[in-house]
Structure 1
Amino acid sequence: MAASVLALAVAAPALADNPVPEGVTLSEDQHYTFWLLDAIKSMDPQVNTDVEGSDILRQLFEGLYNEDGEGNIVPGVALEHAVSEDQKTYTFTLRDDARWSNGDPVTADDFVYAWRRLADPATASEYAWYMELMQVENAPEVIAGDMPPEELGVRAVDDHTLEVTIGTPLPYFPQMLVHASTFPVHAATIEEHGDAWTRPENMVGNGAYKLDEHILGERVEMSPSETYWDAENVVLDRLTALTINDVNLGLTRYLAGELDRVDVPAGQYPRLAEEYPDQATSTPYSCSYIYMLNVGDQGPEALDDVRVRKAMSYGIDRDIIVERILQGGQRPSYNWTHWATAGFEVPEIDYAGWDQSRRMEEARTLMEEAGYGPDNPVALTLNYNTSEDHKKIAIAVSQMLKPLGFDITLNNMEWKVHTDRMQAQDFEMARYAWCGDYNEASTYLDLFTSYSGHNNGEFFNEDYDRIMKESKTAEDPQPLYQEAEEILAAEMPVIPIYHYAQVDMVAEDIRGLPTQNVMQTWYAKDMYRVAE
């Protein structure tokens, strides 16, 4: 099959350079300690679903491509790729010096094994649908169990050549390959140890770091892998992730010198930016904060009425949440897709242009029409995972909605319990956030298709499915993305609250964290500490 030039230029040479600029003096201390809000549910690339889990996996494993500080793809295990004339067959050339931490070579078969494992129903991965989003040939049939995993459109031409066939041309396909679910895994290790393969004593990875210790809900320890292809340019010699469920305690421990990076608690950024101008940072971050509503068969009857759902959304004053509670550069949201997503234009949504007094007026009318109000309230339980910030927002929202006739009970739980209950549709309304898997609007909008692995509120809409399927073959999908957003605004299966900013305290001597990448994808191998 004839091949064209590279479909997407890779933004770096095949061999990486030392991340430390000439003339910079390094600190003798190259230990980096960072904060995690929640316990890492899984160290398995094909099973993990969490952003914090992906941050860890990105150090322990390496996929075909990585991202640089501006979000461009750069070589990982793949040096380059060619694409066929019909834009449906990608051929990746893999580096011949990639090694697993046990010394075995990383080959194309390792990617084939991982991708088949992701799509295989036996794995029961919530990210199996990612193979379908990538349009990998036969992915829907494999995921449904109608075809064996061996029929998935991925094959090893030889040890260092991987071929992927997709059903529909996707211009952003290479960008999707930085996601942790596409990382290779070591088949022999998994087959020997089963679910225990992710324990530190068993794990075999191919990333710049190896797992030394994992105490669930407490800490993760990592050290450089001697077998990593670019080990000589890895500077940080120890990584520690500490799980601290209390954001205020996290800040306290940062200020005490126990952490090098921590999220800024709600409302504290203005003060910290004034007191610590070289440490407090706020940059756009491709994540959206919402309340997901259970509109499926297990959801409460009141949420079957779109008037009730709209009244809830109208009743939430997002300006108060962003300007008085968060105060960190976040933006109020009335749509799902993050405003800074590449190529995306936020559509005009009617209630976004109203002032809050009009929203409340419209909300009261909708509640009256639905037969509810202060004298006949809608009783709902709002689940949220442990975080003082989530709690503050939930309390504020419950008070905002009370005058409309909503009686909201707040229910706090640990992250694993929270997500497990959402996946089982065992909730009424729940705090939820989604961070883009790649920098294109479909990473958000595909979530609410009927075939999504994360549509926990069970919003199913034939027009929405049709629009998103059409977007895969559209020359310009942006108008279709706006149509999809308009359906979400009309049906309100979720309540948008705000679009994220990455609001951090970062130690002054830390370098190499991305500042221009809206995905905020970071790699410890690109980081270092400078001498004070």
Structure 2
Amino acid sequence: MKLILAISAFALMMGGAAPVFAQSDHVPAGTKLAKDQTYTYWLQDDIKTLDPDLNQSVEGNEMLLQLFEGLYTQDNTGELVPALATSYDLSDDKMTYTFHLRKDAKWSNGDPVTAQDFVYGWSRLADPKTASEYAWYLQLMNVANADAVVDGKKPVSDLGVKALDDYTFQVTLNKPTPYFRQMLTNASSFPVPEKVIEKFGDQWTRPENIVTDGAYTLETWDVGSKIVLKKSDTYWDAANTTLTEVTAIPIQDNDQALRRYEAGELDRVQIPAGQYPRLKKEYPDQAVSRPYSCTYAYRFNVGPKGPEALKDVRVRKALSYGINRDIIVDKILKGGQKPAYTWTHWATAGFTTPDIPYAHWTDQERMAKAKELLKEAGYGPDHPLKLRIMYNTSSDHKKIAIAVQQFWKAIGVNATLDNYEWKVYLDKLNQQHDFDVARTGWCADYNEASTYLDANTSWSDQNSGEWHNAEFDAVMKDSKTAADPQSDYTKAEQIMADQMPLAPIYHYAKVDMINSHIKGIFDKNVMNYWYAKDMYRTAN
């Protein structure tokens, strides 16, 4: 593997003159850079946490990619780029990875980033005392003893990670995992500063306490207002980092966010449902739609707190069949999204969409079958099914919920809408399991189908509907040792279509307005990862 070499450069300040920025290796020769190297973007909801071991949201992961850095980053096509790992060795049995770390990486307090920081971070993630909802990620990576450690059956010291020396981090797996390194770009696998966490406890991520190893440091975090990041002088590749400030502004009303973009207050915003065609016509160089490896669905609560009706597979199928995905995609969203009949996104690497019968039915056939199944289950005009649809605050989520409410009314279901702020919604979804039907979305943690399917296993912390299926679990376990797991993924999707623990609705596209002077945002990466360190603002 090739080492990434930093190119030395100096920014000069001359009396009264504009700054001359370092000519980053990300900036094409001859590019005229703006004097103001800042970037401001929109958040649907405020970040819940900036702790890599506690985050569970996509927007949180995006923020953590700027503040922290792990063994690898990604490039525009999703290929791995060495970050803190300059190279690695793989044992003959393909179960032991030995990563050699760069020696010039530092925390923002000047301390070196060492292998022990990775050991501490991964051990803390697995530790039941941390109560991380992403502890299961180590289990998905097949780290040796992760299952027993996460379940509290073995001490954290038994986790298959060790520091051979300050700059050699070794990971032992319990089985060969071909996509293991691809999983290492998620913030859950990043190092964290042990002495800072031990000193400040759960207050360690406050701006005055936090220590980071990424291209940016946390300047301010005004909850509900803004998060401001500043370029880090201690980052190992600071010479090739052009943007000096990154600001995230949470705005729950997407239409208001668009107005603020048009007023020049934001450099990037998600386009509200239905407005992409108009904006693409008016602003062809700013409106973009790209495949995005996420799936939008309605999850059914089949657990102890869920309604009895949803424990009947006929009811779950009827609810799924009753959703007109074409209307949602073509009439409401209008941004390049695709109707979903599988949980796994169609653009996932190596994934072949299986033949799901109801995907081929006409809308009329699906509606007729939905009514038939509800009648068989004992529901009809004299005994209507009553359900709550829970979603987090968003005008787009509301539009879809209202549409589904009407679709279900047509098949004899009375649905009411429950709208909650993001933090309350997450708590009801994942902690209390207090919902009937919940809007949910899943974005890939790595570009392989298991990132979607494993979330529905009985041992997954993300299985908020508490659906447990022994056959599905067995198939996903078999996939871990299969020479080619794609046939197992097909079986798993077919089981989901037959048992319907959730109703897939659409596969995402990333539909944004982006300031035409902001460059370096990836346009081919289906994970839609982005790194401010690779971005820059051109002059007007």
Report the equivalent of 1:116.
123
Report the equivalent of 1:13.
4
Letter in 1 for 2:514: V
The answer to whether residue 473 in structure 2 is matched with residue 465 in structure 1 is: yes
Between 134-143 and 216-225, the greater mean CA deviation after superposition:
216-225
1:491-511 CA deviation, whole Å, 9 max, x = no partner?
001010000000000001010
Letter in 1 for 2:361: W
Letter in 2 for 1:526: D
Cα distance in 2 for residues equivalent to 1:278 and 1:427:
42
SS in 1 for 2:204: helix
SS in 2 for 1:496: strand
The answer to whether residue 515 in structure 2 is matched with residue 524 in structure 1 is: no
> Any unmatched runs of 5+ in structure 2?
8-23
Percentage of pairs with the same residue: 58
Report the equivalent of 2:156.
149
Cα distance in 2 for residues equivalent to 1:375 and 1:268:
41
Report the equivalent of 1:215.
222
1:61-105 CA deviation, whole Å, 9 max, x = no partner?
001100011111101111111101110000001000000000000
The answer to whether residue 425 in structure 2 is matched with residue 407 in structure 1 is: no
Q: 1:445 aligns with which of 433, 449, 453?
A: 453
Report the equivalent of 1:416.
423
Residues 272-351 of structure 1: matches in 2 within 5 Å?
272-351=279-358
The answer to whether residue 261 in structure 2 is matched with residue 254 in structure 1 is: yes
Deviation at 1:374, TM superposition (A): 2.7
The answer to whether residue 79 in structure 2 is matched with residue 72 in structure 1 is: yes
Letter in 1 for 2:56: T
The answer to whether residue 501 in structure 2 is matched with residue 493 in structure 1 is: yes
SS in 1 for 2:129: helix
Letter in 2 for 1:524: A
- Give TM-score, length-normalised by structure 2: 0.96
Report the equivalent of 1:3.
none
Report the equivalent of 1:361.
368
The answer to whether residue 135 in structure 2 is matched with residue 128 in structure 1 is: yes
Report the equivalent of 2:403.
396
Report the equivalent of 1:96.
103
Deviation at 1:14, TM superposition (A): 4.7
Residues 15-34 of structure 1: matches in 2 within 5 Å?
15=6, 18-34=25-41
The answer to whether residue 69 in structure 2 is matched with residue 46 in structure 1 is: no
The answer to whether residue 221 in structure 2 is matched with residue 230 in structure 1 is: no
Deviation at 1:479, TM superposition (A): 0.5
**Contact between 1:374 and 1:404, CA under 8 Å: does it hold in 2?**
no
SS in 1 for 2:463: coil
Deviation at 1:436, TM superposition (A): 0.2
The answer to whether residue 189 in structure 2 is matched with residue 182 in structure 1 is: yes
Cα distance in 2 for residues equivalent to 1:69 and 1:248:
29
1:423-447 CA deviation, whole Å, 9 max, x = no partner?
1211111000000000000000000
Cα distance in 1 for residues equivalent to 2:65 and 2:332:
32
SS in 1 for 2:330: helix
Cα distance in 1 for residues equivalent to 2:65 and 2:300:
32
Q: 1:511 aligns with which of 519, 534, 537?
A: 519
- Give TM-score, length-normalised by structure 1: 0.97
Deviation at 1:15, TM superposition (A): 4.0
Deviation at 1:187, TM superposition (A): 0.4
For the aligned residues, what is the CA RMSD?
A: 0.9
**Contact between 1:374 and 1:402, CA under 8 Å: does it hold in 2?**
no
SS in 2 for 1:198: coil
Cα distance in 2 for residues equivalent to 1:18 and 1:507:
22
Between 239-248 and 14-23, the greater mean CA deviation after superposition:
14-23
SS in 2 for 1:473: coil
1:313-370 CA deviation, whole Å, 9 max, x = no partner?
0011000000000000000001100000000011000100000000011111101111
Cα distance in 2 for residues equivalent to 1:228 and 1:30:
17
Report the equivalent of 2:482.
474
> Any unmatched runs of 5+ in structure 1?
1-8
**Contact between 2:72 and 2:85, CA under 8 Å: does it hold in 1?**
yes
SS in 1 for 2:169: strand
Cα distance in 2 for residues equivalent to 1:350 and 1:173:
33
Cα distance in 2 for residues equivalent to 1:180 and 1:99:
17
SS in 1 for 2:475: helix
Letter in 1 for 2:99: F
Cα distance in 2 for residues equivalent to 1:13 and 1:230:
9
Report the equivalent of 2:248.
241
